[in-house]
Structure 1
Amino acid sequence: MEFIRTLNGDIAPEEVGVTYSHDHLFCIPPLWKEKKIDDFMIDDLEASIADVELFVAEGGQAVYDATAIDYGRKPTELKAISDRTGVKIIATAGFNKAIMWPGQMEGTGGTFQQWIDAHSRQEIRDHVVHELTVGMDNTDLKGGVAKFGTGYNTISEAEDKVTRAVLDAHKETGCPIHSHTELGTLMLEQLAILKEEGVDCSRLTMAHVDRNPDQWLHRKVAETGVFMCFDGISRIKYHPESILIDCILNLVRHGHEDQIVVGGDIARRTMFRNYGEGGLGLGYILGSWVPRFMEQAGEAGFDGKALFDKFFVKNPQRAFVFKQ
């Protein structure tokens, strides 16, 4: 049995449609709130809805919202966005990365780090399974993906424990998995943990691979079968679009077009169109980047339209599926 779990229930994979495979539509990260970093507060429901409507206007139909509990996940607000726009939203169980864990974990009286340190791998697995099968944050809204993450060239003891607990939850539920890589580091090291734990790497979507545009590394990672998420589009401070497109086309050239997914990861007010800062917004990838990509793909001898269908429709159908 295969299905994709959205905030409005389970759907057949072929129903998901044109999908952004990594974004943040509404979130209030506890640590950044405590530090008063306002740009990370994606906390205006009407502004978020207006941006999602830009995505819909460009043909968008589904979003994987990669916001885990430690990054300020708000499932009720996400469902409201889904209900009002018609966009299917896949939400996130699990955790993000240790840099966020000094933040206060609601309902515990302590930080995320304290909670993780106080719980065993098995107890963390049970927590993640609950989020996937019962509900998140005292609601009946279920996560559709389980997430783990690592730091910049570091895997803390707590991150290792959480990673293995998330993999245990995957084994128990058949859920898809998503990982945060800080600036694209430790991709092979994460995959080594999956292999140690006997987890099929093709069940993982790896975020931020384009922050580290090392084409040799990308090929080695892709050879494991993992889905690779290019989610740095428009972030020119990291790399120009030409670098990202070169990396994508190099993977296609080596036969890995069935493993590429795309998202915007626009987790800042200044990147949204409707948060008062005039950013490019959620419509940018489909409305502006995709035509450019298709043109450059054609110039390189590829069928840009067919690649669009794979990256935004066919590959997400496989990347985000539960298998039971």
Structure 2
Amino acid sequence: MSFIRTFNGDIKPEDLGFTYSHEHIVCRPDYWVQRGEDDLLLDDKDKSQKDVEDFKRHGGKTIVDATAIDYGRDVQAVKQISDETGVQIIGTAGFNKSFLWDARVKEELKPIIGDYETYAEWIDKTPINKLTDFVIREVEEGLEGTPLKAGQVKFGTGYNRITPLEEKTLRAVARAHHETKAPVHSHTEAGTMGLEQLELLKSENINLENLSLGHMDRNPDPYYHEQIAKTGAFLSFDGIAKIKYAPESTRIYCILELVKKGYEDQILVSGDTARKTYYKHYDYGLGLEYIIAKWVPRFIDDANRQGFDGEKLIRKFFIENPARCFAFKK
């Protein structure tokens, strides 16, 4: 029996609906606070909520909030948005990537994780089994001492490297997955180190069909994508609308190359919308409505012209594949 865990309880996979697989809704990362990067602070619950309402108005039903503890998440605000909009939210336990760990631990978290000044100090000085226990608690009891349970576990690695602390968190997350059966998500910086992550996860006896790798479109290399897909893992193309990295034609090309090779059941699509300038109601950006309202019709048209069934593929990427990817398989 399988289920999906949301902030409002466990649901059947068939009740997930149209899903964005990687977003950030309300967060105030201390790393960016210290550097005065206001654009990277999604710190207005009401403005974030208006974008979520836009997503719902176009038929969206679920959002995976991929914000981990070290990225300044606000789980109570996100829960309120879920309650007030009716959009289902999946929360995230685990960790991000090492360069963000210079962030200061919020005072209210110190009773939960210990009296550490930074996340790097916490991760470095805490035995791996204790980090594992922490991730398990966030899945089975609740995030940051709340009753809001995580629906996935996450780790991250940097650009073209995996640091010792990142490997430590990867292994802690893998072991928490074995205990909880929560699906696993990974951050890959600019789409790099995905294959290296997979090798480490194999050493922890992880079934890679329970894993999604983020930011695959930041490394638009069809050969690389195929090597990852061969392992059974999900590939998340979650940079939609970020033309500064690549045009949409490049992303669509990479997605359809995977479809041609028979991997259409392993593709996820989202926006990783983590800046004020990406949000419509913060700073006039394209907003959370862009993918469902504009990118989806463009993809269908493009795919159909190339001989694919665009509508069928959209159903897979946003409904059927997330329903399998984010399921706890007990």
- Name the TM-score class by shorter chain: over 0.9
Q: Which residue of 1 aligns with 2:276?
A: 269
**Which residue is equivalent to 1:304?**
310
> By how many angstroms is 1:109 displaced?
4.0
Match of 1:129 in 2: 136
SS in 2 for 1:144: strand
Tell me how far apart the structure 1 counterparts of residues 88 and 192 of structure 2 sit (CA, whole Å). Answer: 30
Measured on the aligned residues, the alpha-carbon RMSD in Å equals 0.7
Q: Distance in 1 between matches of 2:100 and 2:139?
A: 21
Cα deviation for residue 105 of structure 1 reads: 1.4
- Measured against aligned partners, the alpha-carbon deviations of 1:195-237 in whole angstroms (never above 9, x if no partner) come to 1111011100110000000010001110001111011111111
Partner of 1:57: 57
- Deviations 1:109-140 (CA, angstroms, capped at 9, x unpaired): 41000000111110000000000000111211
Could you list the per-position Cα deviations for residues 255-300 of structure 1 after superposition, in whole angstroms to 9, with x for gaps in the alignment?
000000111101000000001x210000000100000000011011
2: CA distance between counterparts of 1:48 and 1:247? Answer: 30
Correspondence for 1:211: 218
Q: Mark the runs of 5 or more structure 2 residues left unpaired by the alignment.
A: none
What secondary structure sits across from 2:155 in the alignment?
A: strand
- Corresponding residue for 1:15? 15
Indicate the SS of the match to 2:162: coil
Distance 1:290 1:309 in 2: 10
Q: Which amino acid aligns with 2:135?
A: V
Corresponding letter in the other structure for 2:299: F
1:281 corresponds, among 282, 287, 302, to 287
CA distance in 1, matches of 2:312, 2:116: 51
Shift of 1:194: 1.2
Q: How is 1:179-190 mapped onto 2 (pairs within 5 angstroms)?
A: 179-190=186-197
Measure the CA separation in 1 of the matches of 2:9 and 2:148.
9
Question: How many residues get paired?
Answer: 323
Alpha-carbon distance between aligned partners in 1 of 2:151 and 2:131, rounded to the nearest angstrom? 17
Aligned partner of residue 91 in structure 1, secondary structure? strand
Query: What is the TM-score normalised by the length of structure 1?
Result: 0.99
Match of 2:236 among 226, 229, 235: 229
Distance in structure 2 (CA, Å) of the matches to 1:81 and 1:264: 19
Q: For 1:18, give the aligned amino acid.
A: F
Query: How high is the TM-score relative to the length of structure 2?
Result: 0.97
Gaps of 5+ in 1: none
1:35 corresponds to: 35
Counterpart in the other structure of 2:94: 94
Name the residue aligned to 2:103. 103
Helix, strand or coil at the partner of 1:274? helix
Distance 1:60 1:317 in 2: 14
Aligned to 2:299: 293
Q: Distance in 1 between matches of 2:292 and 2:12?
A: 23
Distance between the aligned counterparts of 1:257 and 1:294, measured in 2? Answer: 14
Q: CA deviation at 1:28?
A: 0.7
Q: Which amino acid in structure 1 is aligned with residue 291 of structure 2?
A: I
Distance 1:228 1:295 in 2: 22
Structure 2 Cα separation of the partners of residues 174 and 233 of structure 1: 29
Amino acid at match of 1:283: E
What whole-Å deviation, never above 9, does each CA across 1:59-90 have from its counterpart, x for those lacking one?
10000000001111111111001001000000
Report if aligned partners of 2:116, 2:122 keep a CA contact under 8 Å in 1. no
- State the match for 1:85 in structure 2: 85
Alignment of 1:145-224 (within 5 A): 145-224=152-231
Residue identity over aligned pairs, in percent, reads 51
For 2:305 and 2:231, how far apart are their aligned partners in 1?
Answer: 29
